[in-house]
C-alpha cells in the first residue's frame, strides 16, 4: 500500500488504458474531493500497484486506489467516508463510495455501511465518469452532519448508548 497526494498516484501504471484527457479528468475530480476536505484532518490517497493488474475472479474486493476520510474515531465509535476504485469479486473495475459507521446493535456487527454506491466500469461507463459520480456522492455526504448517530438514525440503527 502506497500513500500520498493524488498528484503522486501513478495513474498510467494503475490504469494503463486511460487517455491523457481521462487522467486529467480523474485529477480534477480528486481535486474537488481534496478541496472539500481541506479544512479537515487529512487522509491521504492510498493505492496498491499489485491490485491494479488483477482481473480474475476472486474472493472479496481489492482496493486499487482509495481515499478513506475518517471523520470520527474514538471510544469505540467511528464514522468513515470511503471513495475507492476497486477490483470486484468478478475481476471488474468499479468505483465504490460508502459511509461506514460503528455498530451499537445488541448483536455486534462491528460496522455498517449506511449508504453505499457501486458503479462498475464498462465500455459505456468509463472510469472517469464512474469516479466523478462516486466523488459527487461523497461530496453530498461530506456536506451532511459529521455525526455518526445522525447516520445511524437515518439507517434505522441504534444510537450509541450514553455512558
Q: Give residues in contact with Zn ion (CB under 5 A).
A: 103, 105, 109
Cβ proximity to Zn ion, 81 vs 104, nearer residue: 104
Q: State which H helix or E strand residue 153 sits in.
A: helix 148-154
Cβ proximity to Zn ion, 41 vs 109, nearer residue: 109
Cβ proximity to Zn ion, 109 vs 144, nearer residue: 109
Cell of 75: 471510544
Report the nearest approach of Zn ion to the CB of residue 42 (Å). 29
Report the nearest approach of Zn ion to the CB of residue 88 (Å). 24
| Burial of 65: CB neighbours in 10 Å, binned 0-12, 13-18, 19+ | buried
CA dist 77 and 100 (Å) reads: 11
Cβ proximity to Zn ion, 137 vs 152, nearer residue: 152
Report the nearest approach of Zn ion to the CB of residue 157 (Å). 6
CA dist 24 and 52 (Å) reads: 19
Contact call for residues 89 and 59 (beta carbons, < 8 A): yes
Report the nearest approach of Zn ion to the CB of residue 41 (Å). 26
Amino acid at each position: 500500500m502506497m500513500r500520498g497526494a493524488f498528484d503522486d498516484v501513478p495513474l498510467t501504471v494503475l490504469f494503463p488504458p486511460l487517455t491523457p484527457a481521462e487522467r486529467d479528468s480523474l485529477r480534477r475530480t480528486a481535486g474537488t474531493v481534496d478541496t472539500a476536505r481541506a479544512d479537515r484532518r487529512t487522509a491521504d490517497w492510498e493505492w496498491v500497484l499489485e491490485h491494479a493488474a488483477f482481473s480474475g475472479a476472486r474472493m472479496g474486493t481489492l482496493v486499487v486506489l482509495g481515499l478513506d476520510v475518517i471523520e470520527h474515531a474514538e471510544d469505540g465509535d467511528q464514522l468513515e467516508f470511503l471513495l475507492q476504485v476497486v477490483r470486484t469479486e468478478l475481476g471488474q473495475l468499479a468505483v465504490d463510495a460508502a459511509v461506514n459507521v460503528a455498530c451499537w446493535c445488541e448483536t455486534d456487527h462491528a460496522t455498517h455501511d449506511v449508504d453505499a454506491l457501486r458503479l462498475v466500469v464498462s465500455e459505456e461507463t468509463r472510469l472517469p465518469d464512474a469516479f466523478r459520480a462516486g466523488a459527487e456522492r461523497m461530496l453530498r455526504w461530506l456536506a451532511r452532519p459529521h455525526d455518526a448517530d445522525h447516520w445511524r438514525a437515518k439507517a434505522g440503527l441504534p444510537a450509541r448508548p450514553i455512558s
